[in-house]
Amino acid sequence: MDVLARNNVNISGNLSGKTIIFSHGFGCDQNMWRFVVPAFADEYRIVLFDHVGYGGSDLASHSPERHSSLDGYARDLLEICRELDIEQAVFVGHSVAAMIGILAEIEEPERFERLVLVGPSPCYIDDGDYVGGFSRQDVEELLESLESNYLGWSGAMAPAIMGNPDRPELGEELTNSFCRTDPAIARRFARATFLSDNRGDLPRVRARALVLQCSEDVIAPRQVGEYVHRMIPRSELVLMKATGHCPNLSAPEETVDAIRSFLRS
């Protein structure tokens, strides 16, 4: 299948401008960027896409072999870049997509000039002095719950991931997004996400990077953002006032301001 159709690629904005690619996290789709994208449309060519298995992507293109690791999603991203002849782009990745972007940048660094990493985590499991936010048992229980009752898991986890309990409509939107996903695909992506360990890849990043860290985040706590910043050679860290794991929805203005400042620096 055509790469652009496979990943439901949509191009908008200033078609003669530098390219900025927005990549969504687990259980979401490109619609999660709708409050952020308009701020960059006048200056940048906007590329939005859905990871295979999500949103308007081609479900039949999902491969249990290829998409059982983040490397498979990074390959998808690079195929989009080749198809669109993208070089020196800005990549904005939310949550697990931040690591997908890092893997792609390491493989073909000429494609990416800057990386914006929103709530990144290279490893979710605590390991010695490293604080990932979860114990191994926590992750195993999370995956077991997801695999036994995906809809129930989504209803419980999505509001916690979103945070901002005073704005329940945000948690409801994320819950609905999770529930639209094929459970088998969600299980596979969850394992690829929560059992990944990309700490060793961080020092290999050559692009300039911005780490956006929310002040309270149950998925990627502050120590994780600080670790990512320390380990990526040319990185900046912004500690946001926003809470939760999805500032692209809960605090789009603060997210836009931080990205814009980084791109103009």
Contacts of 62 (CB under 8 A, 6+ apart): 52, 53, 185
58 is catalytic: no
Give me the catalytic one of 217, 229, 235, 250: 217
Longest dimension (CA), the chain: 50
DSSP-derived letter for residue 233 is: T
Contacts of 145 (CB under 8 A, 6+ apart): 152, 153
The count of other CB atoms within 10 Å of the CB of residue 39 is 16
217 is catalytic: yes
Give me the catalytic one of 24, 62, 67, 95: 95
95 is catalytic: yes
Contacts of 102 (CB under 8 A, 6+ apart): 93, 115, 117, 120, 198, 201, 202, 205
Give me the catalytic one of 67, 76, 245, 250: 245
- What residues are annotated to the active site? 95, 217, 245
